[in-house]
Structure 1
């Protein structure tokens, strides 16, 4: 009989092929195997060891460790580490990816909250999700301020995952972050519409609809017309004789 599938503590799906949770224990590895992971991102004071390292080697999983020191001023994460983590997460080459800290709460939660800002979530929405994974159910003012003031420059990969802005860039400027596109060609030019008016793109469309098409040749095909023959005139005398015959 196979052992049960046990997910890591505080396991959850963030987006598509992005997962989060606590440090995986031996009993969680069979569950993680089913995710077909390419990367495990460890946000811990020390690199992983033991069964987790062997698991990564056996299944050719890339293990990236960002050293996160103990809690300082109630914020266990620096902005530089948050930026590094986000850029690792949004790179499709690293997905499917499992992101974890020791307990799957504060450190992982702050990284995901900053990721949500990149996705254009509001801070209250991001912190509402953050709160769901806290053991005490209380967000410190320092943690809330950390997410509010997160306004770094993020490098956007040449291929954008579909869960990030629908996989395309159709906005002029990000509301809170500075973005650096490794492939500037993925930025789609957008035309702003004046309030109460018609944008340039709409004018072009209307022009195409209203203007008569050029160089259109109308063909007229000859159709054979069959003229019906008029019935021959019947002599009134012949008709009268026929009626007389009927009376007899």
Structure 2
């Protein structure tokens, strides 16, 4: 029997969201034929989850851990890393083109060609939470969105511990990039969050600068189709507005012409 995670969802074809995985979820996740999994929380995955990704040759990328580690390394008073992460180079869990050179976590030195290593991309040094109201850093969102818009990473799943807060914010920013209106974005966010919804997450989504995102060269089919449809709709709206402006200008010109040629009814008295 296939048991999906509690907060599992299909975002777009080949793009999934989920909370943390447990062994009972593995058969279902295996059926998705994932190529890449992204973690948004600065916590090492469980041994069972790491083994599952290794056995199924799924590249595991912990964006938040990379951001947290970079921020920790930039602090002169940083303590010894308590996560037990290795000090290896580029993770060997994916192919040789894997971006990011963060330390391999949970996999030792990462020297063995077949050894699974958690990949932590090199995100510009910034706190995991840059201020009290930001659930994620902008750098992490940018890095993650560019990854899930690269068709070479598909099929792909994005996870956090609860499946609600970080991932809800992340997907809200994706919806902004897809030209969704804010009301629809908030409805989707609250559908997963329920009574755990946070206003700061919704505020972050609204204020996130989507112009900061650099689109990859190879985009998913669903993105290309949606962008084409959106551009066609924008062109239709522009054409309609132009026609309305021309009609209004024509009406005004007719009114002016009627005022100009209207005979005078003024009579003079002797």
Corresponding position: 1:195 with 2:236: no
Paired residues, number: 177
Counterpart of 1:33?
A: 30
Corresponding position: 1:81 with 2:78: no
Provide the C-alpha distance between the structure 1 equivalents of 2:157 and 2:194, rounded to a whole number of angstroms. 21
Q: Secondary structure at the match of 1:115?
A: helix
Paired residues for 1:29-108 under 5 Å: 29-67=26-64, 69=128, 73-108=132-167
Q: Secondary structure at the match of 1:37?
A: coil
Counterpart of 1:182?
A: none
Corresponding position: 1:154 with 2:209: no
Counterpart of 1:145?
A: 203
How far off its partner does 1:47 sit? 2.6
* Contact kept? 2:169, 2:202, Cα under 8 Å: no
* Contact kept? 1:45, 1:70, Cα under 8 Å: no
Q: Structure 1: which 4+ aligned runs deviate by more than 6 Å?
A: none
Counterpart of 1:114?
A: 173
Q: Secondary structure at the match of 2:16?
A: strand
User: What stretches of structure 1 of length at least 5 have no aligned partner?
Assistant: 176-189, 198-248
Which structure would you say has the larger RCO, counting Cα contacts within 8 Å and 6 or more residues apart? Answer: 2
Q: Secondary structure at the match of 1:116?
A: helix
Post-superposition CA distance 1:123-163 (Å, at most 9, x none): 111111011111525431x2222111111411112222122
User: What stretches of structure 2 of length at least 5 have no aligned partner?
Assistant: 66-127, 245-270
Paired residues for 1:186-225 under 5 Å: 193=239, 195-196=242-243
Provide the C-alpha distance between the structure 1 equivalents of 2:229 and 2:194, rounded to a whole number of angstroms. 39
How far off its partner does 1:25 sit? 0.9
Provide the C-alpha distance between the structure 2 equivalents of 1:70 and 1:43, rounded to a whole number of angstroms. 12
Relative to structure 1, the CA distance from residue 167 to residue 136 in structure 2 (aligned partners, 3 Å threshold; closer, same or farther) is closer
TM-score, normalised to structure 1, is 0.64
RMSD across aligned C-alpha pairs, in angstroms? 2.7
Counterpart of 1:133?
A: 192
* Contact kept? 2:152, 2:218, Cα under 8 Å: no
Q: Which has the larger radius of gyration?
A: 1
